[in-house]
Homo-oligomer: A and B are copies of this chain.
Amino acid sequence: MQEEDTTRVEAFSDGVFGIAMTLLILEIKVPHLPHEAPADKWWLFGALLSLWPSFIAFVLSFGTVLIMWVNHHGLFKHAHRTDNRLLFANGLLLLLVTFVPFPTAVLAEHLNKPSANAAATFYCATYVVIALCHNLLLSAVLANRAPGAVGSSAHEAAASRIRRAYGAGIAVYLAATIAAIFSPLGGLAICFSLWGLWVLLNYSAHERAS
């Protein structure tokens, strides 16, 4: 029954991650033909290219939420059962994941406008809050480990590795937020660079766990 509990929470979380990722596409707005038809038959390609802020925002948010999902997957492997603390830490994370399409749409709308610094700062700051929430979830998962796992050196090593990585996540997103105040694209570049870190982390954690 405990096993089934974890399964249902994971399946529900997967659903929310998947829907949040898919809704991101709704923020890319179709360019409309202007009233006076442009002379150039291929005008549409220029209009599509000018949507680059939307494409950057879409790809960055999609990839980041996808990596969150992969990590969520890895994290719940350590959870042996669910209690209310785990359910609500997970719920808070899902609230924030569901929120991601909003800062993404704000970024897409403002990245090529004078308000770009404010939009990128808001966008990066959202991920700081999400990183903090991941740490809450980590504590809740560790408090729900299998009795045999607590104190086992292999599990403690895995736990401290994840803990260090999550701490690094907060630090890097904080740096991205501060960078975005001065340079929107600089802040976003730091967010993108985290993809590499997470892939590495997940890869090594996965290798050692299996």
Chain A residue total in the interface (Cβ 8 A): 66
Given A22-B19, A63-B95, A98-B21, A45 and B84 contact (CB-CB distance below 8 Å): no
Q: Complex: how many Å from CA A118 to CA B102?
A: 27
Selected contact of A18 from candidates B19, B27, B44, CB within 8 Å = B19
Chain A interface secondary structure, helix, strand, loop or mixed? helix
Across-interface contacts of A83 in B (CB, < 8 A): 206
Q: Are B91 and A66 in contact (CB under 8 A)?
A: yes
Which residue from chain B places its CB closest to the CB of A117 in the assembled complex? B41
Across-interface contacts of A119 in B (CB, < 8 A): 44
Q: Are A10 and B8 in contact (CB under 8 A)?
A: yes
With both chains docked as a complex, state the minimum distance between the C-beta of A205 and any C-beta of chain B, in angstroms.
Answer: 10
Selected contact of A15 from candidates B15, B25, B101, CB within 8 Å = B15
